[in-house]
Structure 1
Amino acid sequence: MPSGEAASLSLWAAIGLALVGGLILNLMPCVFPVLAIKALSFLHGDPREHHRQGLAYTAGVLVAFSALAGVLLALRGAGASVGWGFQFHSPLFVLLLAWLMFVLGLSLAGMLHLGVGLTGVGQGLASRSGLVGSFFTGVLATVVATPCTAPFMGAAMAYALAQPAVELLAVFLALGLGLALPYLALAFWPALQRRMPRPGRWMDVLKQALAFPMFGAAIWLVWVLAQQAGPQGVLLALSGMGLIALALWARGVSRSAGRSGRWAGGLTALASVAAALALLPMVQPEATPSAVASASAGASKEEPYSPERLAALRAQGKPVFVNLTASWCITCLVNERVALSTPEVKTAFQSQGITYLKGDWTRQDPRITELLARHGRSGVPLYLFYPAGPGDEAQVLPQLLTPGIVTAAVSGSAT
């Protein structure tokens, strides 16, 4: 059982925290566009169909979280040490997700039409394919939510990962239910639907505008891939996007052509997709940190985290601030931008003589996983402050930081 906050939780407390954390996940920049797009379907149609859409979406979310829990249990049974967001340690997963975000962006922008089977947006919402679309939109919402760690989630996930299968699944399903609740409430609560604007041209404009968060997510994922697989990973990701775009274009322009034109377009699309898939085995982690990661590390005064360095500093009685982060963790990146990189915090660290250690969990690092588990966490971010003097007790800071929170935590440190 992990120490710290998670060790004091009961099962029902962990379920409650997971439920609240799942609700907050809906506000994350990758998840919110998916929820907004699905909400547009409630502007027309039969209320009974809305109920079915809500249940199908919820089923997709819960099935996806159950599958994620199953994978975690299998890896744990095999002796692996894993945590929340573990799949983002794989460059291959990051690449595939970047391609998916790119295709969804093209679809939302109106550059191609995938039909309701993938996005759940279109005229067939009352048909069976609409329900299938809702189900897989729930799966998609789960996939794009996994790089995020919302407040209240950290302790709940750490508790779950230390429990037997039934308890772990219960916490994961609570997290999924929290993620699905806003859409489910909208589906069953007509009063909320009546507060939505009337249908109009704004729906198409909004749908197209929501393509840009998807493109932004694809760009960000390629940046993450650069730190995992280096320049070659970026080249493979962009090459794959070009081939996917070619396949979609060829398929689209050949629809109105004659029989030979349709065959040519289909073969071109098939060959392009096959060429993109052939790139996947070439995606390999770099043996050493990439130039992007090195440049990022050299841009500030932090030192790379290692247990040996932390132990040496603590043996000397020096104050230490530890930031465990990852490039695919949106919460981590926001905290570094709005709090840890501010002049106020940098000045406080310098004046207090605080050593800043940064542990990068973008790629799997068992040393960071061990420190997370020691403090009752299953994933990043984790912020620890060790005051000056003897002892190894650390103050755990909140998952959402402000400059004031950091400076207040370190203000009692002696130089």
Structure 2
Amino acid sequence: MRNWTIPITLGLVLLLATAAMAAEEPVDINLVLVRAPEGNFAVLELTPHPGWHAYANTPGPSGFPTHVDARLNDTQLAALYPPGIPTPDPLSPGATALLYTGATPIFLALPQTQGELQVAVRMLLCSDTTCQPVRRKLQTRITEAALAAARTPQDTPWWDLYAHSLPEAKPQAAPVPPHTTTPPEPRALESAFTVRVFDPGLEVHSLGAAIPLALLAGFILNLMPCVLPVIGLKLRGLMPTAHKDSPSRAFRVHNLAFAAGIISFFCILALAIGVTGMAWGQIFQNPNAITALAILVFLLAMSLFGLISLPLLSLKAKPQPGYMPGPIDSFTTGLLATLLATPCSGPFLGGVLAWALIQPTLVIVTVLACVGIGMASPYLVLAAAPGLMRIFPRPGAWMEYLEIGLGFFLLGTTIYLLGLLPQDRILPTLAFLWICAFCAWVWGHWGGLHQPTSVRLFWRGTALMVAALGAWIFLVPTTTPNPWQPFDRQRFETLRHTTPLLLDFTADWCPNCKFLEKTVLTAKASTAIAQRYGAVLMRVDLTHEDPQAMELLAALGSRSIPVLAIFSPSRPQSPLLLRDLFSQATLERALEQEWEGLPPNQ
């Protein structure tokens, strides 16, 4: 085995696996305990990020209802949902939906028993352009000590919603506009409609009709712009001039392996669809999968520009000295070509998939395997008649221009994939791609095969460590709930006289702010501050123009950020400021100076 294949492969796997770990969702979910005259409550606090909203438990004519399932030991707890705010639905023009925006509590009345509380919440988060399903599970132990330290209604800004969440209060709290109707439960929609097709003669109703159409559609996929450049390069680039003794055999092996990769991808996809019931192309709804695919396509572009040599997915016509492409390279490239073809397959597979994907798993596998055979058919023909290799043009300088052109094409594909990501994921992914480009240059320039082994391993290891660090900073979310709340002027004016209050002025365009958030004001450290001092933490976002926030910043005597303002209830008119960059130790000393000795939950 080539001594450099394993570290390169492990490096690529590390990058993709690290990217796939990025599961940040645009919502903060906290579970808090409240002691009220009405009894003890566990409250699930949902706070969609700015620009995002969830649908209420009764969402109106559109949207997916927010639902909470909670158990204390073996006792099912009833959830009390606040009414949603009637709002024009951004994704359904003309429709009015009931939405949750800002901090929204869902109340769980606790019996007198104690024990393990398990909560599962599911919701649909949407912005103006995209939606993202959220499934989250939380658990905590209810003890006498935890209840004794629970908040009181005065400590929460949303307790007045409890009365509106009671069943008898809901109709008066948020009436649905007269022109809307309450939709049926989601499961009822499965049989709620009788569908009529405009041209039923074109519909597929049997396996006998699906198979020939699947074969034809698979063949046409070879001509789609998503996959044609990859196939074109591999047919010419992997026609091994190095195998002068048996070029026909090498050509046959390459085409068989390439075809096997195509067919295998469709079979694996068919099994996944049959077992999970997911829809065609549903992988492109998962931000983690899109991020990983964007990174892979970007690295392929870097390889075509000559910055890096990828094992198993080499598209170069002339690989680096010492590397000889083999059947595994052809197989994995066949998998890649099929993956890239998936978004382009809709116009040709629509009628076939509409019928096949609601059939048993065996039928789904049969039909999609036929699609794979159809797509692989040209390469099976070339494998059967290797003499056809003579019809291909001879290698020349034109191959280098073709590779560069494909590199730019793959960069365009990367931009397309980034456009599928939620808005708050685009900038961190772009930052990580920039790091990938730098690491790819280090890998190829200082860690190429022309370097001595020790030098090569050093620079490749350095590139991998930098890439892993970048993935951790930009892609891997924290598992600790984020205690920072969006700034609210009215709540700020109320709390600064009664509660320790921390204001963080930040913006997405401020690199120093982001550095502080990743080093000093991390979710874990911020949560510890909030719990230790009973403090409320608010983040003042200046990414976009906000006159009220700018007015507050100016009132604090500052025109630049980052700024951290520490308000003490004993001196609400005289906050202590930390400007620009500061350390964790500096922050601790400032907090002790302002808040040490304050009564809990003052």
**What's the TM-score, normalizing by structure 1?**
0.59
Amino acid at match of 1:175: V
Asked if the contact 2:256/2:379 (under 8 Å) is kept, the reply is: no
Tell me what 2:419 maps to: 223
1:172 equivalent in alignment to 2:364: no
Q: 1:19 to 1:282 in 2, by over 3 A?
A: farther
Question: How much has 1:188 moved relative to structure 2?
Answer: 3.2
Alignment of 1:203-282 (within 5 A): 203-225=399-421, 229-230=422-423, 232-255=424-447, 261-262=455-456, 264-278=458-472, 279-282=474-477
Per-residue displacement from partner, 1:328-377 (whole Å, max 9, x unpaired)?
xxxxxxxxxxxxxxxxxxxxxxxxxxxxxxxxxxxxxxxxxxxxxxxxxx
Mapped to 1, the partners of 2:370 and 2:469 lie a distance apart of 40
The one-letter amino acid of 1:194's match is R
Tell me, yes or no, if the aligned pair for 1:21 and 1:153 is still in contact at 8 Å.
yes
Post-superposition shift, 1:218? 0.7
Cα separation, 2, equivalents of 1:161 and 1:116: 31
Larger Rg: 2
Between the aligned partners of 1:245 and 1:161, the Cα distance in structure 2 is 39
Cα gap change, 1:128/1:13 in structure 2, threshold over 3 Å: closer, same or farther?
farther
Equivalent residue for 1:25?
221
User: Structure 2: how far apart are the matches of 1:24 and 1:106?
Assistant: 29
- 1:202 aligned to 385, 398, 401, which one? 398
- For 1:131 and 1:268, the matched residues in 2 are separated by 30
Distance 1:10 1:73 in 2: 18
In structure 1, C-alpha distance between the alignment counterparts of 2:229 and 2:261, rounded to whole Å: 17
> In the TM superposition, what is the alpha-carbon distance from 1:94 to its structure 2 partner?
1.3
- 1:259 to partner: Cα distance: 7.3
What is aligned with 1:14? 210
- The aligned runs of 1:116-131 (5 Å cut-off) are 117-119=313-315, 121-122=317-318, 129-131=325-327
In the aligned structure 2, how far is the partner of 1:43 from the partner of 1:118?
A: 13
Q: Distance in 1 between matches of 2:346 and 2:374?
A: 12
CA distance in 2, matches of 1:275, 1:99: 15
Give the aligned partner of residue 276 of structure 2. 75
Match of 1:331 in 2: none
**Kept in 2: contact 1:69–1:169 (CA 8 A):** yes
Aligned partner of 1:66 in structure 2 is 267
Q: Counterpart in 2 of 1:162?
A: 358
- Where does the alignment leave 5 or more consecutive residues of structure 2 unmatched? 1-190, 479-602
Q: Which digits, 9 at most, give the CA deviation of each residue in 1:267-288, with x for residues without a partner?
A: 42122221344244449xxxxx
Unaligned runs of 5+ in 1: 77-81, 284-415
Amino acid at match of 1:209: G
**Aligned equivalents of 1:262 and 1:51: distance in 2?**
34
Deviation at 1:124, TM superposition (A): 9.2
Distance 1:128 1:10, change over 3 A: farther
Contact 1:243/1:275 (CA < 8 Å) preserved in 2? no
Cross-structure match for 1:106: 302
CA distance in 2, matches of 1:14, 1:259: 54
Shift of residue 83, structure 1, vs aligned partner? 1.9
- C-alpha distance in structure 2 between counterparts of 1:260 and 1:169, whole Å: 48
The CA distance in 2 between the partners of 1:262 and 1:200, in whole Å, is 30
Deviation at 1:246, TM superposition (A): 2.3
Q: Is 2:243 the partner of 1:54?
A: no
* Cα shift at 1:3: 6.7
Cα distance, 1:117–1:91 mapped onto 2, change above 3 Å = closer
Instruction: Determine the C-alpha separation between the residues in 1 that align with 2:215 and 2:253.
Output: 22
Match of 2:239 in 1: 42
Further displaced range: 84-93 or 196-205? 196-205
Aligned-partner Cα distance in 2 for 1:267–1:190: 41
Aligned 1:291-330 pairs, distance under 5 A: none
Distance 1:120 1:111 in 2: 11
More strand, by proportion: 2
Contact 2:222 2:228 in 1 (8 A): yes
Contact kept in structure 2, 1:30 and 1:213, CA below 8 Å: no
Identity of aligned residues (%): 36
Q: Which amino acid aligns with 2:442?
A: A
Q: 2:130 aligns to what?
A: none
Q: Deviations over 1:294-317 (max 9, x none)?
A: xxxxxxxxxxxxxxxxxxxxxxxx
Partner of 1:135: helix, strand, or coil?
helix
Counterparts of 1:204 and 1:128, CA distance in 2: 18
Distance verdict in 2 for CA 1:234–1:259, change over 3 Å? same
Q: Deviations over 1:255-276 (max 9, x none)?
A: 3667775465234212222134
Determine if contact 2:439/2:464 at 8 Å carries over to the other structure: yes
RMSD: 3.0
Query: Which region of structure 1 is more displaced relative to structure 2, 244-253 or 97-106?
Result: 244-253
SS in structure 1 of the partner of residue 345 of structure 2: coil
| CA distance in 2 between partners of 1:17 and 1:184 (Å) | 19
CA distance in 2, matches of 1:181, 1:276: 42
* 101 and 183 in structure 1: CA distance in 2 versus 1, 3 angstrom threshold: same
One-letter amino acid of the structure 1 residue matched with residue 268 of structure 2: A
> Conserved in 2, the CA contact under 8 Å of 1:43 and 1:193?
no
Q: Is the 8 A contact 2:301 2:411 kept in 1?
A: yes
Q: Which amino acid is the alignment partner of residue 103 of structure 1?
A: L
More helix by share: 1
- Alpha carbons of structure 1 residues 259 and 54: separation in structure 2 relative to 1, 3 Å: closer
Q: How far apart are the structure 2 equivalents of 1:159 and 1:120?
A: 40
1:147 is paired with a residue whose SS is helix
* Contact 2:308/2:440, CA 8 A, preserved across alignment: yes
Q: Deviations over 1:224-283 (max 9, x none)?
A: 22xxx10x2111211111121222222233336677754652342122221344244449
The amino acid across from 2:335 in the alignment is V
**Equivalent-residue separation in structure 1 for 2:271 and 2:207 (angstroms):** 19
Q: Identify the match of residue 340 of structure 2 among 119, 144, 150.
A: 144
Closer/same/farther in 2, CA of residues 9 and 203 from structure 1, 3 Å limit: same
2:344 partner SS: coil
State the distance in 2 between where 1:172 and 1:239 align.
37
Q: Is the 8 A contact 2:257 2:328 kept in 1?
A: yes
CA distance in 1, matches of 2:470, 2:374: 36
Alpha-carbon offset, residue 194 of structure 1: 2.3
Number of residues of Structure 1 aligned to a counterpart in Structure 2:
274
Q: Deviations over 1:134-170 (max 9, x none)?
A: 0000110111111123544111111111111111101
Answering whether residue 396 of structure 2 is matched by residue 186 of structure 1, we say: no
State the partner residue of 1:401.
none
Structure 1 residue 14: deviation in Å?
0.8
